[in-house]
């Protein structure tokens, strides 16, 4: 989470001590009422009609082709300034901070690749209508980190704002900050219409990705969140201290080597939460956790893979309902998930909250879990993948790797050479010439080929797809 001055308390549901007590209760109930720890290889749970339900996408123009989930209509920086990031410095002209702190609609494109280490307090994304297009970076892309100590705070914080799109950015918390509760990798706080897509986070001592406060219309998609640092190794806290109902999509992500909160789901009534087509690997105490301390909200878990690893054991729970401090019954829809390994598939406490029909329409047509697994292996994370993400993906494939105890070292990042952009409109000159745009005139927001997609939006999509496929744009 963010700086303690903004958070008078951790913002989490009951303490880890309470969680451990609750876990012991669930395990005893599991052994006595329904099932002990079981081995399920590629087994499915729940009904199978979810993929046949008509999805209801969010109204409005998509932030980019392929944007999914409740945040899909985020405007980002569309129509605004194209600001070139030309420096890896913490601040100053040409820095990422300068683009973040600018005002009005804007798109940050990168003319440099490498590590941006915030040696002062990391910037806060407060001004709305921003796109951070990490796929434009040359070489090995962009990694963010803090400098540890008292200023070792969450490197990418989106706070009190709206219409933010962040793609193909890595956050590696390789140094220890002084306040664990202020050291996520990514935080979304009191914000609306936000997309985190194709990002990667590691080594946070709080959550790797965290939703805090009064958020709404949020998507976290196609990302890798791995190796949280014990004793608070958590993948995703989707909501913390929510003030009102929220719409939150968690789609196509990989959580690997995190003890629990894979993810943590705790929303008020009237919310709509969808956890679709993710891969959850090597949890220790719990995979997906459903809490009711904010009154119990609806959630759909569809087409996910829950896979044991070296730290998973017979008492680990795949989908759990924690009833400590409950203020209302959740509505939990579970369908088409697959489980692999020796652990409790579902807590027996889920049965009371489980429903047979979707409590909210899903925003996408879910893939079968096995197909979604293959897509996560191919496409999750920031591209080009760095050695960390390649290693985590290989560990998932091989069913190897463990929860780590300390942050690792950020691998050297190839700086590369930026594509030519003579008119400074964010697009490659050669690509413009091949696609009817004008490389000698800034025409980012025109539609040269008449397909209804602005030139820059189309180019950024082409870059993203090419990076994922390892091809030339």
Structure tokens at 307: 């896979």
What confidence score (pLDDT) does residue 472 get? 87
Cα separation, 137 vs 383, in Å, equals: 10
Q: What predicted TM-score, i.e. pTM, was given to this entire model? A: 0.90
Return the C-alpha torsion angle 150, 151, 156, 162, nearest 10: 90
Read off φ and ψ for residue 360, nearest 5 degrees: -140, 145
| Among 310, 313, 263, 312, CA closest to 288 | 263
Q: Specify the 3-state DSSP secondary structure of 201.
A: strand
Residue entry with tokens 């995190």: 258
Residue entry with tokens 């390994």: 341
Q: Where are the strands (E) in 203-259, listed by range?
A: 207-212, 216-221, 224-226, 234-237, 247-251, 254-256
Structure tokens at 172: 């590696």
Contacts of 374 by beta carbon, 8 Å cutoff, 6+ apart? none
∠ CA 368-370-371, rounded to 5°: 65
CB 312 within 8 A of CB 339: no
Q: Specify the 3-state DSSP secondary structure of 23.
A: helix
pLDDT in tens, 15-43: 332 332 233 223 222 322 222 233 333 33
Whether cis (ω within 30° of 0) applies to the bond prior to 263 is yes
pLDDT in tens, 250-306: 999 999 999 999 999 999 999 999 999 999 999 999 999 999 999 999 999 999 999
Structure tokens at 337: 């998930």
Which pLDDT tens digits describe the chain residue by residue (473 residues)?
Answer: 333 333 433 333 333 323 322 332 232 223 222 222 333 333 334 444 444 468 888 889 999 999 999 999 999 999 999 999 999 999 999 999 999 999 999 999 999 999 999 999 999 999 999 999 999 999 999 999 999 999 999 999 999 999 999 999 999 999 999 888 889 999 999 999 999 999 999 999 999 999 999 999 999 999 999 999 999 999 999 999 998 999 999 999 999 999 999 999 999 999 999 999 999 999 999 999 999 999 999 999 999 999 999 999 999 999 999 999 999 999 999 999 999 999 999 999 999 999 999 999 999 999 999 999 999 999 999 999 999 999 999 999 999 999 999 999 999 999 999 999 999 999 999 999 999 999 999 999 999 999 999 999 999 999 999 999 998 88
């Amino acid at each position: 989470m963010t700086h303690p001055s903004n958070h008078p308390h951790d913002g989490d549901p009951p303490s880890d001590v309470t969680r451990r007590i609750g876990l012991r209760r669930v395990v005893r109930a599991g052994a006595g009422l329904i099932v002990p720890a079981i081995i399920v290889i590629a087994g499915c749970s729940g009904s199978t009609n979810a993929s046949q339900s008509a999805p209801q996408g969010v109204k409005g123009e998509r932030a980019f082709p392929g944007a999914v989930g409740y945040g899909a209509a985020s405007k980002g920086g569309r129509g605004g300034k194209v600001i070139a990031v030309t420096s890896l410095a913490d601040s100053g002209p040409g820095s990422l901070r300068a683009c973040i702190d600018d005002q009005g609609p804007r798109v940050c494109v990168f003319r440099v690749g490498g590590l941006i280490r915030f040696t002062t307090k990391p910037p806060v994304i407060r001004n709305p209508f921003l796109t951070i297009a990490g796929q434009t970076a040359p070489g090995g892309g962009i990694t963010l980190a803090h400098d540890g100590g008292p200023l070792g705070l969450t490197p990418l914080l989106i706070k009190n704002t709206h219409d933010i799109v962040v793609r193909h950015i890595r956050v590696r918390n390789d140094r220890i900050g002084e306040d664990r509760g202020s050291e996520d990798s990514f935080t979304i706080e009191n914000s609306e219409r936000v997309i985190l897509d194709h990002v990667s986070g590691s080594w946070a001592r709080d959550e790797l990705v965290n939703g805090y406060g009064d958020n709404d219309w949020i998507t976290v998609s196609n990302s890798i969140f791995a190796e949280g640092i014990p004793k608070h190794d958590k993948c995703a806290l989707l909501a913390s201290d929510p003030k009102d109902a929220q719409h939150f999509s968690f789609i196509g992500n990989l959580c690997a080597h995190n003890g629990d909160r894979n993810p943590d789901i705790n929303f008020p009534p009237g919310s709509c939460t969808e956890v679709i087509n993710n891969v959850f690997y090597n949890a220790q105490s719990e995979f997906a956790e459903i809490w009711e301390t904010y009154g119990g909200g609806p959630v759909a878990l569809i087409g996910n893979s829950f896979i044991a690893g070296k730290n998973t054991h017979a008492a680990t729970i795949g989908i759990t309902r924690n009833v400590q401090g409950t203020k209302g019954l959740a509505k939990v829809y579970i369908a088409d998930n697959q489980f692999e390994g020796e652990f409790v598939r579902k807590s027996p406490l889920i049965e009371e909250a489980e429903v047979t029909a979707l409590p909210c329409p899903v925003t996408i047509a879910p893939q079968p879990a096995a197909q979604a697994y293959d897509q996560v292996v191919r496409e999750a994370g920031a591209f080009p993948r760095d050695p960390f993400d390649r290693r985590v993906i290989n560990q998932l494939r091989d069913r190897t790797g463990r929860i780590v105890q300390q942050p690792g070292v950020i691998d050297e990042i190839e700086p590369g050479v930026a594509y030519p952009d003579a008119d400074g409109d964010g697009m490659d000159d050669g690509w413009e010439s091949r696609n009817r745009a004008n490389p000698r005139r800034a025409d980012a927001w025109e539609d040269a080929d008449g397909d209804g997609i602005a030139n820059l939006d189309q180019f950024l999509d082409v870059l993203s797809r090419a990076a994922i496929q390892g091809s030339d744009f």
